């Protein structure tokens, strides 16, 4: 029997459990999460979406056959049913090497969807983060680069604004995962050609002066802009740093995003010290695989300044945006913001005594009682 054939059993148990929960008081955080996820569990097409994706990831790691692969699929199915873990969670958070108590401390994709709905539910406010043009306008003090909305500017204005730029980068106004990005070298492509090509796209774009990173992070991987993700939670005028991690691209890549092959290195947000990195293919990374630059054990320069910038940036957000992930660029002599994210993905937990799920539930209780 295929492991996936057990899924209807879990679905039936979930439906019974949901019916039991609906009879209880609705104020409890645990009940709210359970109701949110169990509804998804009942309606989700496991075989069509998750099971196929998981088997593909197993195949990429050479463990798609035999008893070990079957047990891993069962282990993953249980992680999905009880923790809301997607296949990328299971592998990037190294669940196969962690006990269940440690796993339960993580923020999986389903848990993140739940938290985003609770902490950032106002779509009118959330668009300030999702729309890159609105983000640049609202946080212009921290951007430190020229930019424009391509369909709000004439060719003459475009040429004048970027006349001193060696490179330009075009991005979708609303886009994620490092997709829909193009870089233009102005010494090879004329301004008129760039302007017309970007303007001809079927969706809104912004164009920015390409940020040539300097300093230590540039040496890690010169082809990409390597950023630091810092997540903050704000309520009643008090802002906490929740987590942080470093993102670096691979040789030749222009983005550092893990979905585009980049490597994520968790950071101890109290000290700025870098832990071992990983992506969906490789784990326990201590040095950049291409440049050889040592990252594990190093401390991010000007760490307290980076955290303070993110706290200040959160003060400019609407009061109903409580959880924000900030993408920060560290240069030799400057710190600036690249983007903000209203549903920031959490990295793996390096310290088994940390409990981000517990912390988020505490924040949720504070929000409900405020």
Is residue 45 located within the same domain as residue 127? no
Is residue 253 located within the same domain as residue 359? yes
Is residue 199 located within the same domain as residue 250? no
Residue 170 lies in a domain: yes
Is residue 327 located within the same domain as residue 353? yes
Is residue 334 located within the same domain as residue 365? yes
Q: Give residue 180's domain range.
A: 146-209
Residue 190 lies in a domain: yes
Between CA 274 and CA 265 the distance in angstroms is 6
Give 11-76 as a DSSP string: HHHHHHHHHHHTTS-TT-HHHHHHHHHHHHHHH--HIIIIIHHHHHHHHHTT--SHHHHHHHHHHH
Torsion of CA 291, 328, 255, 163, to 10 degrees: -110
- Could you tell me if 341 and 314 are in contact, meaning their C-beta atoms sit under 8 angstroms apart? no
- CATH number at 300 reads 3.30.470.20
pTM exceeding the 0.85 threshold for the entire prediction: yes
pLDDT tens for 310-359 read 999 999 999 999 999 999 999 999 999 999 999 999 998 888 788 999 99
Q: Is the dihedral of CA 232, 307, 314, 235 positive or negative?
A: positive
Per-residue pLDDT, 124: 95
Residue 141 lies in a domain: no
Is residue 73 located within the same domain as residue 169? no
| Distances, alpha carbon 203 to alpha carbons 171, 183, 200, 272, 341, in Å | 10, 17, 9, 39, 20
Q: What is the mean pLDDT of each run of 10 residues along the chain (370 residues)?
A: 61 63 60 76 61 74 74 83 85 87 94 94 96 97 97 97 97 82 96 97 95 96 97 96 96 89 94 92 91 98 98 97 98 97 91 89 91
Is residue 153 located within the same domain as residue 34? no
Per-residue pLDDT, 299: 98
Per-residue pLDDT, 1: 47
Is residue 318 located within the same domain as residue 199? no
Specify the DSSP element, H or E, that contains 129.
Answer: helix 123-130
Is residue 150 located within the same domain as residue 200? yes
- Count up the domains in the chain and report the number: 3
The residue out of 209, 230, 248 marking a domain boundary is 209
Between CA 333 and CA 6 the distance in angstroms is 56
């Amino acid at each position: 029997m295929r492991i996936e054939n057990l899924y209807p059993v879990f679905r039936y148990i979930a439906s019974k459990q949901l019916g039991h929960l609906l009879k209880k008081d609705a104020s409890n955080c645990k009940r709210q999460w359970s109701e949110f996820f169990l509804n998804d569990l009942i309606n989700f097409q496991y075989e069509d979406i998750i099971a196929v994706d998981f088997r593909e990831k197993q195949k990429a790691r050479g463990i798609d056959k035999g008893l070990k692969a079957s047990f891993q699929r069962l282990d993953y199915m249980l992680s999905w049913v009880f923790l809301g873990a997607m296949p990328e969670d299971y592998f990037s958070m190294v669940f196969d090497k962690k006990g269940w108590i440690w796993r339960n401390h993580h923020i999986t994709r389903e848990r993140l969807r739940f938290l985003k709905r609770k902490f950032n539910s106002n779509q009118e406010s959330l668009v300030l983060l999702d729309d890159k043009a609105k983000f640049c306008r609202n946080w212009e003090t921290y951007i430190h680069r020229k930019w424009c909305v391509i369909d709000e500017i004439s060719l003459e204005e475009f040429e004048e604004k970027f006349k001193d730029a060696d490179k330009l980068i075009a991005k979708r106004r609303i886009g994620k995962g490092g997709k829909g990005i193009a870089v233009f070298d102005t010494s090879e492509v004329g301004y008129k050609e760039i302007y017309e090509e970007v303007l001809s796209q079927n969706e809104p774009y912004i164009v920015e002066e390409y940020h040539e990173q300097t300093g230590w992070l540039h040496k890690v991987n010169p082809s990409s802009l390597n950023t630091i993700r810092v997540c903050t939670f704000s309520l009643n005028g008090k802002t906490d740093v929740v987590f942080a991690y470093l993102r670096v691209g691979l040789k030749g890549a222009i983005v550092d995003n893990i979905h585009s092959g980049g490597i994520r290195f968790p950071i101890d947000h109290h000290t700025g010290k870098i832990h071992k990195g990983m992506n969906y293919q490789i784990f326990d990374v201590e040095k950049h695989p291409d440049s050889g630059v040592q990252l594990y054990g190093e401390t991010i320069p000007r760490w307290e300044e980076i955290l303070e910038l993110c706290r200040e940036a959160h003060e400019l957000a609407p009061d109903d945006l409580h959880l924000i992930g900030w993408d920060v660029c560290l240069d030799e002599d400057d710190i600036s913001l690249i983007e903000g994210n209203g549903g920031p993905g959490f990295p793996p937990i390096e310290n088994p005594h940390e409990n981000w799920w517990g912390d988020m539930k505490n924040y949720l209780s504070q929000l409900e009682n405020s």
